[in-house]
Structure 1
Amino acid sequence: MTYTNIPWDKGTWTTAPVSVQEEGEGLRVGAKHGSDYWEKTLYEFEHRDGHALLAPWEDASAMEVTFQLSSFTELYDQAGLMLWHGPEQWIKAGVELNDGVPQVAVVVTDGYSDWSLAPAPEWVGQKVTIRASRQKDAVIIRARSQSEGWRTIRVARFPYASGKQAGPFVCSPTRAGLEVVFTRWVLASPDADLHTDPPLPSERE
C-alpha cells in the first residue's frame, strides 16, 4: 500500500468556509451556520453551500481523509469525505452528530439525496478516517477510528469515468462556531477487493 499526501493548497473549495487555518500538518476549518448539502428528498429543499475542498480523483487511487471529532457538540455537526461529480451527483461520507451520538453517515445523491446512519458512540472525541475506492460502477466506502479497524459502511453507485473530484468536507446546518481539524488527506492504493480491508497504520509499509 502506498500513500501520497495531498497539500491543503492543492484543493479548491466549493464554498469558502468562514475560516481556514493551517496548524502544523493539519487544517482547521470553520463552517458557516446553515451550511449543508442536500437535494430535495423528504425535506424538499436544496442545500449546496457546504464546504468541500476538492482535488482530482482518478480510479487508480483511493482517497482518505482523517479528522478530529472533539468539536462535535450540536445536532448535525458533520465532517468527512466528499466525492463529487457535479452539484447533483455527489456522495458525502463521514460522521454526523445525531440525537447526541456520533453517527457514521453517508448521503448518496443523484438528483435526489438518500441518507444512511449507523451509531458509533465509542468514537466520541477520537480521530476518524474515511476512505473511498472505486470499483467498476461503484464506490466502496470505509471508516475507522483511531482505536479500531475498518468498517465497510456503504457500497454505492458512482459510475463516472472522468471528471471526479474528492476531498474533505464540513457542514454546520444548525449552529455557528463549528470548527473541525483535518489531520490528513492522502491518495492511496485502491482496494484490492470488497472483502479485503486496507492495512491499518501499524501494518503499512
Structure 2
Amino acid sequence: MNRRMLLAYILAPAFSAIGLALIGYGGRGRISRVFEKVPLPPPRYDGNVSIEYALKVRRSIREYEDKPLKLEHVSQLAWAGQGITDKRYGFRTAPSAGATYPLEIYIVVKKNGVEGLSEGIYHYLPREHMLELVKKGDYSRELMDACLDQEWVGEAAINIVVTAIYERTTYRYGDRGRIRYVHME
C-alpha cells in the first residue's frame, strides 16, 4: 500500500467524523432532529455546456462574489451529487458498489448564503429531492476550523459536506466495503 492510499484511508473516516459531529448525527442512519423540510426546484437534465467542455475549463476558484446563491443552483448541485436518476430502482447520478449508496450530502449554508434558506446545516434527501434543516445557525467558522483553517471554506456561501454510512456497504461486502468500496465512492 503506498503512502497516498494510506493517507486516504486515514483521512476519509476522519472527515466523515467531522461532518457527522457538526450535524449532531444520532446514529443508525438517522438525524437526531429535523427542524423543517425544504422542497427543491426540479433539476435540469440538459445544459448549455457539454461535459467535455466543462472538464476542459474546470478550475478551482477560492474567491467568491458576495451575493447569495439561488435555490435552483443548490438543487442542481445536490441532484448532481446524489440525485435519483431512476425512481423505480433508486439509481443515482453517482455509481455505487452494489447500489448501496453509503454517501450522504449535507449543505452548510452561511448567513445570506442562499436565497430563501436560513443559515444552517441541511441534509439532502435524494428520493424526495428536498433538504431537511438538521441544525440551525451559521457553522461556516466551525467548518473552516475543521478544514485546517482554510479561509475560503468560511467565505463560501455554501459548503457541501459528504459523509458516509459505512454499514450500508459493509452489510453486503464486509471489510471490503469499509476498506475499499466506500472510499472509492
Asked if Structure 1 and Structure 2 have the same fold, meaning a TM-score greater than 0.5 normalized by the shorter chain, the answer is no
Larger radius of gyration: 2
Instruction: Name which structure has the greater RCO, CA cutoff 8 Å, separation 6+.
Output: 1
Higher strand share: 1
Q: TM-score scaled to structure 2, two decimals? A: 0.28
Q: Normalised by the size of structure 1, how large is the TM-score?
A: 0.26
> Which structure shows the bigger proportion of residues in helix conformation?
2
